[in-house]
Amino acid sequence: MDFRHYGDAYYLRIDPGEEIVETVLGLCRREGVQSATFSGIGGCGDAKLAVYDPDLDKFQIETAEGMLELVSLMGNIAVADDGELYHHTHAMYSFKQDGAFRSFGGHLISSVVRNIAEVELRPVIGGVIKKKLRPGGKAGTWEF
């Protein structure tokens, strides 16, 4: 990973073999960023995504492997009372299967870069957004 801090944003180049979520969280820890939003694009080799099922009160998890075009990455970072950083990230991938283009999207758990990923990270200015965890630690909401 390489990055630059220009104005009020960080610009990250995430290299092959690096995991996207851990790279973004690692930069936040290194730079002291406690809350932010981010977006990005790139080419990945695998992705683990989840979709929340309210009837079952749990996430259903799916994985994909191969050449996955990361066509949309959007997320946020917030800090819990214990100082731990939490992400809430959604991703959409495009890939070719059986001669047709397909898509795969949801809540991003992890994804390893295959070619390159480019991410813009925008820290919150003038305040900190906290994460209030729900009982059981399944999800959380912003607390101002």
Run means of pLDDT, 10 residues per run, the chain, 144 residues: 98 98 98 98 98 90 97 97 94 96 97 98 97 73 89
List the structure tokens of 137: 């630690």
Q: Note the pLDDT of residue 136.
A: 64
The Cα–Cα gap between 99 and 110 comes to 26
pTM of the model: 0.93
The contacts found for 13-18 with CB under 8 angstroms, 24 or more apart, are 13/116, 13/117, 13/118, 14/42, 14/113, 14/116, 14/117, 14/118, 14/119, 15/113, 15/116, 16/113, 16/114, 16/115, 16/116, 17/112, 17/113, 18/112, 18/113
The DSSP output letter for 136 is: G
Mean pLDDT of the chain: 95
72: left (phi over 0), alpha (psi -120 to 50) or beta: beta
Q: Which fold has domain 2-143?
A: 60s Ribosomal Protein L30; Chain: A; (3.30.1330)
Q: Tell me the pLDDT tens digit for each residue of 72-96.
A: 999 999 999 889 999 999 999 999 9
Domain ranges of the chain: 2-143
